[in-house]
Amino acid sequence: MAAVRVEEVLAAAEEQEAEKRRSVTVEKELELEFDLGNLLALDRNPPAAASGLRGAGPRREALLRALARDNTQLLVARLWELPAERAGGAGGPLVARLPDPAFRLPREKPPPRPRPPTRWEQFARLKGIRRRKRTSLVWDEQAKEWRRRWGYRRAGGDPARAWLAEVPEGADPEEDQFARLRREKRERVARNELNRLRNLARAHRAGTAVPAAPLHPTGHQSREELSHVARVARVSTASLGRFQPRLPKEPAEPPSRSGGRKRRFEPLLGNLAAERSRQLELLRDMGKKKPVLDITRAVNKQLRQEEAEAAAAKGKKQSQRGKRGRRQQRVGRKSKKSGGRPQQ
Amino acid sequence: LIYCYRKPKTKRAKRFLEKREPKLKENTKTAMLIRGGNANLTVTEVLKDIYAVKKPFAVLYKKKNITRPFEDQTSLEFFSKKSDCSLFLFGSHNKKRPNNLVIGRMFDYHVLDMIELGVEKFVSLKDVKNSKCPEGTKPMLIFAGDMFDVNEEYRRLKSLLIDFFRGPSVPNIRLAGLEHVLHFTVVDGKIYMRSYKVLLKKSGCKIPRIELEEIGPSLDLVMRRTHLASDDLYKRSLKQPKALKPKKKKNISHDVFGTTYGRIHMQKQDLGKLQTRKVKGLKKRPAEKAAEGGGVSPKKAKSA
């Protein structure tokens, strides 16, 4: 008898467990699709009990609510399965880590374009100049404390209150030095602004380059434009226009831009001043002790170019080959370095 | 800021411009809720309720703007540029199209998609008298009905609604704070939008049992006109920059059963130089030694 009771008790306990689990399980024909990063659930099942949903009134609301309850239960079950941790120590709230959103939604703005380098950036890259990290505070001897490099209460004192302006060696003694300093600062500011605008214009032009615009037919094109377009169209075939038959009224050979001459010479008796300056320059260059071509500079430039190319190639090869490629490259580079130094 | 011809003179102006320029990871999309020239009470209430749901990522325009989105989109684009909003909801009313809502989104300050919906029944936040969830909770979104997959227009509408109500993208979420759920059902061409508050009840196991309580605006919508973007424009807007793609970890592979395998690449080992003296398992035991060198043991041989 005791055994029977034990069995009964076990069966009852199992019943209870199943009951509890039933309360959180939901039966669906088709599985839902989940995008947990967006807290999104997509139910593909055609709306069941459609007749109930058609009729207006509280019955429809009840059916909608039941459907919503089932779907929400499934979504919450999935969310509870995510790896969770206690934020802010043991007593903090339970926080789940969401995956990245999977549903593709269009962007607000197009992705940012990489801007072309400014003139200084190009020069720095060419010369191999790298940015030095500067300290934000500088020691001021006068005030015996650390002050900013520039701005409010800067290290060298306020430049507007400079009461002394030395007259430099070769300058006119009557000249107003304060006015000169102010003028030079204004010029510097203007030059910086001009360069900034030039860099911007170059970036803008590079971004919105539309090379094909003049080649599209508008209807108001002149004779020259049309002939230019026809010439470009002729050369735009796979064999660069070599086997292109001519139109009935097209000239047999394309009229060359130089007018039939391969070499051009200046007229004999033309610009006297230009001729004079050219001859004098030639004499000057012949008489100079220093060579016109600075060998050291040229060689350095060549070396730097080679280094840059090697670095670019190495970077590409590294990403392609991986570890083994890096090992081989290093061995190869050592030998190249020893052979490439100029003997000076 | 990169293409700024007038450099900002204050830090605040600089921050303002930086917020608006195109970025790798974008800001949360904000919505502008506009009233048309002849908006009636229903439509105004709808706009106000949706503003309450979407706060703080929405702007409600107070004055009426006499425009027609489907004919002329320039004024919408101008508003979008001024307020930096990429989603909009425009409400109007006339005899031909009563209680009209135009929901739409922008790409690069130009209209991408626009869908016109008619409101057939509307129950406002004020009419449902119970406690609501706090402002700014990220809602759970559920779409029910096969029309959302089958029909192209309904698919775009689904994408639009997700974009509209999604809220900010977060890496973690507090499980107890999942309070709001927006449920969209499509039956017979009618879209029922219901908003519920989620009550988590104790169940026997870890997963709580869900009970729903209706709050919030409930709308019965019917689709009217659409102005969808062409396929190539839509594809261009979906394009994500390469830098955002998750970096693939090399040399890791997964099994069907969930086992993770890794590959290690080794150099070639010279097996002659392997260190075996320190491996106790390879040492000869005294019994073995005796059996092997029974006749001749090396030491004895040497001495002899």
| A chain contacts of residue B29, beta-carbon cutoff 8 Å | 108
Q: Say yes or no: B211 contacts chain A, CB-CB below 8 A.
A: yes
Nearest residue in A to B109, CA atom: A109
Q: Say yes or no: B228 contacts chain A, CB-CB below 8 A.
A: no
| B304 has pLDDT over 60 | no
CA distance A37 to chain B (A): 8
Structure tokens at A342: 């100029």
Mean pLDDT of chain A: 82
Q: Say yes or no: B70 contacts chain A, CB-CB below 8 A.
A: no
Nearest residue in A to B25, CA atom: A111
H-helix segments, A258-322: 272-287, 295-321
Q: Do A107 and B212 touch (CB under 8 A)?
A: no
Alpha-carbon distance B168 to A243, whole Å?
A: 61
Which of B83, B183, B211 is most worth mutating to test chain A (most A CB atoms within 10 A of its CB)? B183
Which residues make beta-bridge pairs with A145? A140
Of residues A64, A104, A111, nearest to B185 (C-beta): A64
Q: Do A109 and B26 touch (CB under 8 A)?
A: yes
What's phi and psi for A4, nearest 5 deg?
-60, -40
Alpha-carbon distance B210 to A77, whole Å?
A: 10
Give the type of residue at A3: A
Q: What proportion of chain B, given as a percentage, has pLDDT over 90?
A: 49
Nearest to B235, CA basis, from A101, A106, A110: A106
Q: Do B26 and A108 touch (CB under 8 A)?
A: yes
Is residue B75 classed exposed, middle or buried when 0-12, 13-18 and 19+ CB atoms within 10 A define those classes? middle
Of residues B105, B108, B196, nearest to A68 (C-beta): B196
Q: Is the dihedral of CA A20, A23, A29, A30 positive or negative?
A: negative
Q: Torsion-angle region of residue B48: left (phi > 0), alpha (psi -120 to 50) or beta?
A: alpha
Nearest to B225, CA basis, from B47, B81, B71: B71
Pairing of strands A84-86, A94-97: antiparallel
Q: Do A76 and B142 touch (CB under 8 A)?
A: no
Could you state, in order of their start, the residue ranges of all structural domains in chain A?
A: 6-85
CA distance B74 to chain A (A): 17
| B26 has pLDDT over 80 | yes
Q: Say yes or no: B6 contacts chain A, CB-CB below 8 A.
A: no
Mean pLDDT of the B23-37 span: 92
Q: Say yes or no: B80 contacts chain A, CB-CB below 8 A.
A: no
CB atoms within 10 A of CB B18: 11
How high is the pLDDT of residue A52? Answer: 63
Is residue B132 classed exposed, middle or buried when 0-12, 13-18 and 19+ CB atoms within 10 A define those classes? middle
3-class secondary-structure state, position B42: helix
Q: Do B144 and A67 touch (CB under 8 A)?
A: yes
Nearest residue in A to B137, CA atom: A39
Distances (CA, A) of A268 to A11, A276, A279, A282, A283: 120, 13, 14, 18, 20
Distances (CA, A) of B220 to A60, A219, B26, B28, B49: 12, 53, 32, 27, 14
Q: Say yes or no: B180 contacts chain A, CB-CB below 8 A.
A: no
Structure tokens at B216: 């919030």
How high is the pLDDT of residue A340? Answer: 43
How high is the pLDDT of residue A54? Answer: 66
Report the interhelical angle of A119-127 vs A295-321 (nearest 10°): 90
Distances (CA, A) of A344 to A295, A299, A307: 11, 11, 19
Of residues A47, A53, A97, nearest to B171 (C-beta): A97
pLDDT digits (tens, 9 = 90+) for B174-186: 888 889 999 999 9
CA distance A189 to chain B (A): 13
| B145 has pLDDT over 80 | yes
User: Is 0.95 surpassed by the pTM of this model?
Assistant: no
Q: Do A41 and B241 touch (CB under 8 A)?
A: no
Q: Which helix (H) or strand (E) holds B142?
A: strand B140-144
Of residues A47, A101, A200, nearest to B187 (C-beta): A47
Output the CA angle B221-A54-B121, nearest 5 degrees: 30
Q: Do B203 and A71 touch (CB under 8 A)?
A: no
Nearest to B75, CA basis, from B84, B66, B63: B66
Q: Which helix (H) or strand (E) holds A230?
A: helix A223-235
Q: Do B240 and A107 touch (CB under 8 A)?
A: yes
CB contacts < 8 Å between A and B, how many? 203
Name the least confident of B61-65, B103-107, B250-254: B250-254
Q: Do B198 and A111 touch (CB under 8 A)?
A: no
Tokens 């830090």 locate to B11
* Strands annotated E in chain A: 33-35, 40-43, 84-86, 94-97, 137-140, 145-148
How high is the pLDDT of residue A45? Answer: 86
Cis peptide bond upstream of B56, omega within 30:
yes
CA distance B276 to chain A (A): 28
Distances (CA, A) of A59 to A56, A65, A196, B110: 7, 10, 69, 43
pLDDT in single tens digits along all 344 residues of chain A: 666 788 888 888 888 877 766 677 788 888 889 999 999 999 888 876 656 666 667 788 888 888 999 999 999 998 888 888 887 777 778 888 898 888 889 999 998 888 888 899 999 999 999 988 888 899 999 889 999 888 888 888 888 888 888 888 888 888 888 999 999 999 999 999 999 989 888 888 877 765 555 677 777 778 888 888 888 888 888 988 888 888 888 777 665 666 667 787 778 887 889 889 999 999 998 888 888 788 889 999 999 999 999 888 888 877 776 555 455 555 544 444 444 444 44
Q: Say yes or no: B268 contacts chain A, CB-CB below 8 A.
A: no
Q: Do A97 and B237 touch (CB under 8 A)?
A: no
Structure tokens at A120: 């200084």
pLDDT digits (tens, 9 = 90+) for A228-243: 888 888 888 898 888 8
pLDDT digits (tens, 9 = 90+) for B86-129: 999 999 999 999 999 999 999 999 999 999 999 999 999 888 88
Give the contacts of B204 (CB within 8 A, at least 6 positions apart). Answer: A16, A17, A19, A20, A21, A23
Domains of chain B in start order, with CATH, are 26-230 (3.40.50.10480)
How high is the pLDDT of residue A2? Answer: 67
Nearest to A74, CA basis, from B173, B174, B207, B182: B207
Which of A26, A71, A98, A108 is most worth mutating to test chain B (most B CB atoms within 10 A of its CB)? A108
Tokens 């995956």 locate to A99
Q: Do B140 and A93 touch (CB under 8 A)?
A: no
CB atoms within 10 A of CB B78: 12
Of residues A44, A68, A100, nearest to B183 (C-beta): A68
Q: Which helix (H) or strand (E) holds B34?
A: strand B31-36
For chain B, what's the residue count? 304
Structure tokens at B259: 């086992």
Q: Do B174 and A21 touch (CB under 8 A)?
A: no
Of residues B108, B144, B163, nearest to A109 (C-beta): B108
Nearest to B102, CA basis, from B50, B144, B149: B50
What's phi and psi for A8, nearest 5 deg?
-60, -45
How high is the pLDDT of residue A1? Answer: 61
Over the range B279-293, which residues count as b (16 or more CB within 10 Å of their CB) and which as e? eeeeeeeeeeeeeee
Q: Is the dihedral of CA B109, B115, B119, B125 positive or negative?
A: negative
| B301 has pLDDT over 60 | no
Mean pLDDT of chain B: 87
Alpha-carbon distance A264 to A257, whole Å?
A: 12
CA distance B36 to chain A (A): 24
Of residues B106, B146, B205, nearest to A20 (C-beta): B205
Residue-wise DSSP of B182-204 = EEEEEETTEEEEEEEEEEEE--S
Q: Do B107 and A100 touch (CB under 8 A)?
A: no
Of residues B162, B203, B239, nearest to A20 (C-beta): B203
